[in-house]
Structure 1
Amino acid sequence: MKKWKAGLDLYHYILLLAVFIISSCSNSKTLNNTDDMTYSNAKSEEDWRKVLSPFQYQVLREGATERPFTGEYYDTKDTGAYYCTACGDSLFLSDTKFDSGCGWPSFFEPYTDKSIVFNKDSSSGMIRTEVLCGGCGGHLGHVFNDGPPPAGLRYCINSASLRFEKGQPAAK
């Protein structure tokens, strides 16, 4: 009887530990069902092809990812603001950019809460949180829970989805 009880206690302990680990690994950001969203800067796919380079189109409209350490902005340290390549909406400020060592521009906070939206991404055999432009729905990258304080988030963004402007950005 004691052996059965000890086994049951161990089972409960393992179950509790598994629930804790799974919940701590999940992203706390609210995921949007972006299929039904209407974006203020929406265009047809034909129109996007006219204004984006082929690679920008692959990243922003098809969800491709550039190779690490190859993007134009992964090592940029200048003061300024980052905008969506597709629609021009404000996305991130340079003072929220940090060197995560991952090979993509990384930020700990978006320009505003409306600058980006989140979507569940189950591609590549993983479950991740996709980051999309709040203005046009273009794929920017992904967000992870391993960033620095104050937010503890790492927005890992493709350079192809960004346009950088040096200097002091406009007020929020």
Structure 2
Amino acid sequence: MAIELAEYDPSWPEQGARACAELTDAMPGLFLEAEHVGSTSVPGVTAKPVIDIMVSVAGLDEVTAEREAVLERLGYRQQSTGMPGRLFYRRDADAVRLGHNLHIVTAETWDTRNERLFRDHLRAHPETAAEYSALKRHVVREEDDGLAYTKRKTELIQRVVDRERAARGLPLVPVWEE
């Protein structure tokens, strides 16, 4: 199955903001932080047309069956990713909105999340954002498997995340959470 990339769409930040608001409004007090992350959150970056949202909770056990039912009513379905310390949900695209990925993590890890560090670096360094877009366009011509596509981007992502973690005095960790 071909991987779809789209040139940056200036409506993506608003779609991310709406998704964050929808989630926090649906479950007041559960999500301590909510941000649009991923390539669609970085101006000018080529991206798969999917809005990635990351939210923090005091503890993953706060996402009870009742709260999962609310997520399901919003269209989010839990998916197993094998990534420790996170819950992951996907909402499929429909006629009015892009697909969404929801990453639920703990507040304790919020400030050290690689996705946030990478996003912030790309926003502050347009030359790296352009390099990332070019890499994605190159890789998508050679890969039609989502996992292979993602792994081919790992070297650049790891380099950037290592730089950001070192600048903050954080330990270096693999960007692949396995």
Tell me the TM-score normalised to structure 1 length.
0.26
Larger Rg: 1
Higher relative contact order (CA 8 A, sep 6+): 1
TM-score, normalised to structure 2, is 0.26
Q: Which has the higher helix share?
A: 2
Higher strand share: 1
